[in-house]
Amino acid sequence: MLPVVALVGRPNVGKSTLFNYLTKTRDALVADYPGLTRDRQYGRVRRGQRDYYVVDTGGMVEPEAALEQQAMRQVQYALEEADVVLFLVDARDGLQSGDAVIAARLRRIGKPVVLAANKAERAEVATAAGEFHALGLGSPYPIAAAHGSGIDALLDAVEARLPEDRGGEEVAPEDEIRVAVVGRPNVGKSTLVNRLLGEERVVVFDQPGTTRDSVYIPFERHGQRYTLIDTAGIRRRGRVGEVIEKFSVIKALQAIDRAHVVIYLIDAREGVTEQDAHLLGMVLEAGRGLIIGFNKWDGLEQEQKDRLHRQVDLRLPFVDFAEKHFISALHGTGVGHLLDAVQRVRAASTQDLSAARLTRVLEQAVSAHPPPLVAGRRVKLKYAHQGGQNPPTIVIHGNQTEELPGSYRRYLMNTFREALGLKGTPIRLELRTGENPFQGRRNPLSVRQIRKRRRLMKHVK
C-alpha cells in the first residue's frame, strides 16, 4: 500500500487548492468560503519515482455544533492513517491562536509534521512567515498553492519523511467499477456509502446539504474493485441559492458523467417527486447504468408502499429498465444486494454484441411487427451492428430510417433489451439510411418516348 500524507490546518488556508495542484485534478471543491470541506477526499500524487496518497480534510476548529463534531472526526481518521502530516497555515493572516492549538495537537500524535505557509506570493509575506517558527514544528516552507510556487521544495521535505511503499501499490485495473450515489438532499446517500464501506467514511447528519463535494472512495469487495462517489444532493434550480451549492450541483453532475453505474436514491417516505423524474432523465441522457434505491423502506405502512408503487408506474415509466431495490441504508436492509446488482448492470452495459446476433434479433422484430408505411412506402430495416458500449449502442441500417416513428423505436429497444438481457442499462439506437445511387439522376427519353409524351400533352387542358 502507498504512503499517506494528510493535509490539515485551519479553515480557508488553501488545503483543497493544494490538493488539486498535487493531484493535477479538480476533485476538491475550492471557494473563498471557510468550512467548505467536510469529508475526507483522497487523491494520488505521482512525482518522479514516488507515488503516494494525499488526503484533503476539513478545517480544524473547536467543534461546537454536532455537524462540526462529525467533520472533526473525519480529520481525526485522516491523522490516524497518515504517515506524514502536512500542516498548512496562512502567511497573510500571520500566526493565529488556532494554529497554536493545532500544532500542540499534532505534536501529541508523534508523527512527522511538515509546516507550509501558504499564500506567500509576495517576498515580504514570505519573509514575515518566519513567525511560524514559534509553533515548534521547524522552519515553515513558504508556498503559493494557487500558483504552484515553492511546491517542489515542500514536496522534497515531505518525501524525505515518507516511508517506503508498503507492498507496492498496483495500478488500478481496467475492470474497476465507478459507482455514483445520486439523489435529492437528505435521502440517505452518505449513510448508504458508509453502510457499503462498513465504516464512517463520510459525514452523516440529519440536515440537507451536509455533503458539499463529490467524494471518491476506492475499495474492494470479493476481488472486485470499486470507486464509490458520494455526491451532494441536487435540488430544483429555483431553490439553489448559495454559490457553494451551485458548484456542488456541478460536481454531482460531473460525477454522473464519470461513473459507470448510478445508484439513484429516493426517499420512500416522500415518494417520487418531479425533481426525481428530472434527475433520472439526466442520468438517462448520460447513458449510465441505473439502479434505483428506495431508501427508508422499512418504516412504511402497507398503504404507503402501495402508493409508492403507483407513483413509480405513473412517473417513471421511461426508466422501467432499471433495477429497483427497496432498502434501509441506516439498518442495512437490502443493501447487501446492491453491489451484486452493480456488477450485473456493468456487465450488461459492456456486453459485446455480434452483428449476426443483432441482425437476427432485428429480423425477428420486423417479422413480428413490420415498420409502418411512410408516404405509401414501407420503411426497410436491413441489418444491425454494435456501435459502442456504456451505454450499448446499436446501429441499424435501412431505407427511410429517419421517418421511423418514436413508438417503433421504443419497440425495437424493448425487443433488443429482452432478447439480449440488457437489464439495468439504457440502449441507444442509431438509424442510418444508405445513399440512393440514382438520386438526382434522370434517364434521357428516347425519340419514341418524346413523341408519346407530345401526343399525351395534347389531351391536357
Flag whether 190 is marked binding. yes
Flag whether 296 is marked binding. yes
Flag whether 16 is marked binding. yes
Flag whether 118 is marked binding. yes
Flag whether 390 is marked binding. no
Flag whether 413 is marked binding. no
Asked if 6 contacts 55 with a C-beta cutoff of 8 angstroms, the reply is yes
Flag whether 218 is marked binding. no
Flag whether 12 is marked binding. yes
Flag whether 443 is marked binding. no
Burial bucket for residue 79 (CB in 10 Å: 0-12, 13-18, 19+): middle
Flag whether 97 is marked binding. no
Flag whether 184 is marked binding. yes
Flag whether 9 is marked binding. yes
Give the list of residues 6+ apart from residue 417 with CB closer than 8 angstroms, or none: 321, 423, 427
Q: What are phi and psi of 254, to 5 degrees?
A: -65, -35
Spatial distance between the Cα atoms of 360 and 370, rounded to a whole number of angstroms: 15
Flag whether 50 is marked binding. no
What stretches of 130-206 show up as alpha helix (H) in DSSP? 151-161, 189-197
Asked if 143 contacts 150 with a C-beta cutoff of 8 angstroms, the reply is yes
Flag whether 250 is marked binding. no
Burial bucket for residue 343 (CB in 10 Å: 0-12, 13-18, 19+): middle
Flag whether 58 is marked binding. yes
Flag whether 138 is marked binding. no
Spatial distance between the Cα atoms of 324 and 104, rounded to a whole number of angstroms: 51
Spatial distance between the Cα atoms of 428 and 395, rounded to a whole number of angstroms: 8
Flag whether 119 is marked binding. yes
Flag whether 59 is marked binding. yes
Spatial distance between the Cα atoms of 326 and 13, rounded to a whole number of angstroms: 43
Flag whether 56 is marked binding. yes
Flag whether 189 is marked binding. yes
Flag whether 461 is marked binding. no
Q: Which residue has the cell 427511410?
A: 400
Flag whether 57 is marked binding. yes
Flag whether 185 is marked binding. yes
Flag whether 350 is marked binding. no
Flag whether 297 is marked binding. yes
Task: Please report, in range form, the residues annotated as the binding site.
Answer: 9-16, 56-60, 118-121, 183-190, 230-234, 295-298
Task: Please report, in range form, the residues annotated as the binding site for GTP.
Answer: 9-16, 56-60, 118-121, 183-190, 230-234, 295-298
